Structure 1
């Protein structure tokens, strides 16, 4: 099937340490008969970029917008953004700056940031980048459920250290229209009931969720990296959310 520029675009963006490769299995399962799906690598996470450690959130947001321009995304033909984990920072900036370009945002074990958020405000000044931690330490921060030794070995081999400017930059959000963008939360390592309880209690990590005007929540129980542990189910969830159908393949 030949897709036209009228086919809706789905842009997948992975979190810290990851590039476009992280979505390979999801893309293999995603229904591309009725959509144009692409995974992108954010600035700072390309191992071949000699200046990658200097990249910040503004660079990443600009790169997302450049990708959308390449898909000829406009207000009349908006996109679906899929943001996993730490990709929530640049995607929050994009939605704040250009909400008219986003048909729906799908947060994968993640969520929108509040104004003033900083991922690592206490990161020492002498640190230029943050490598992927040992897995025993990482497991204390995020669930590794569902990841086989082979998957973990690939994760370790392909992970790129996260640039310190990305981790230190304060997220500046000024446009309340971002809260009107239709939103899906795919809850994996924490249930949707827990997320909503934390949101309504004002928990710093989830407070912005309480302000979203058009919100749908989906439970996909697994660890923090569902693109590897439940790739097929995540692809189906993304398709359903992006195309506005309750389940199964259907034209967008």
Structure 2
């Protein structure tokens, strides 16, 4: 039995995995979907330097989990990638779901694909938080109107301090046993940093013909991929 720890991306909480969890549990695995500090039901909890990494590590240690499959979606790939090396032998595999990946000394803001200044301005305009996307901004991502409405209604502002938090890595990320899931409606190719990690030989690439939020658009397919990541 593996223990899947599921961490959703910006603006989302543990609820984002509700349609993925049943298939993993039916296959006999432990499943622990996690809400990060400052989001959803933990919105009142401050999030600063390394808070989200500690959220993940603390959950694994508190529950004394072993054979852990850490799953990080979008932004959460950054804290998940750091937590993966910190839990040591407890880790079985890390899965990045169309995710950002950490680079030592770099943050989500510093590597933002539209440029750090644009994201920094967006945070400043919203009192230091990153405002959730509007419904129109989910167009073209393989989501139904009902799925979009669910995401929008459940989203909360993302704490900006976590986005500007530089990653701390003790060893090369490419040494971790990892699967990277690329969602093709959000871009046909992995980003350059991910492509370099995939070329190292330890990482596997899986393609999904859907958008950036597959836990909503293709939950059953995503669950199968997560199970296959462990060869089960």
Same fold, TM-score > 0.5, yes or no: yes
Distance 1:209 1:158 in 2: 33
**Equivalence for 1:250:** none
Distance 2:72 2:141 in 1: 20
**Equivalence for 1:149:** 145
- For residue 197 of structure 2, the aligned residue among 209, 220, 233 is 209
Distance 1:160 1:49 in 2: 8
TM-score by length of 1: 0.78
**Equivalence for 2:183:** 188
1:56 and 2:48 correspond: yes
* TM-aligned CA distance change 1:98 to 1:212, over 3 Å: farther
Worse-superposed segment, 96-105 or 232-241: 96-105
How far 1:88 moved relative to its partner? Answer: 0.9
Q: Which structure has the larger Rg?
A: 1
TM-score by length of 2: 0.84
Q: Give CA-to-partner distance per residue, 1:73-94, whole Å, 9 cap, x none.
A: 2xxx331011111101111221
Worse-superposed segment, 159-168 or 99-108: 99-108
SS at match of 1:219: strand
1:240 and 2:231 correspond: no
Number of residue pairs the alignment of both structures matches: 221
Q: Give CA-to-partner distance per residue, 1:52-74, whole Å, 9 cap, x none.
A: 3x40351111111121123312x
Root-mean-square deviation over aligned CA pairs: 2.4
How far 1:116 moved relative to its partner? Answer: 2.5
**Equivalence for 1:173:** 169
Worse-superposed segment, 60-69 or 119-128: 119-128
Gaps in structure 2 of 5+ consecutive residues: 110-115
Distance 1:213 1:179 in 2: 8
1:91 and 2:80 correspond: yes
**Equivalence for 1:103:** 92
Q: Do 1:85 and 1:109's aligned partners in 2 also have CA atoms closer than 8 Å?
A: yes
Worse-superposed segment, 154-163 or 54-63: 54-63
Q: Do 1:111 and 1:185's aligned partners in 2 also have CA atoms closer than 8 Å?
A: no
Gaps in structure 1 of 5+ consecutive residues: 1-6, 246-252
Distance 1:110 1:172 in 2: 17
**Equivalence for 1:19:** 13
SS at match of 1:30: helix
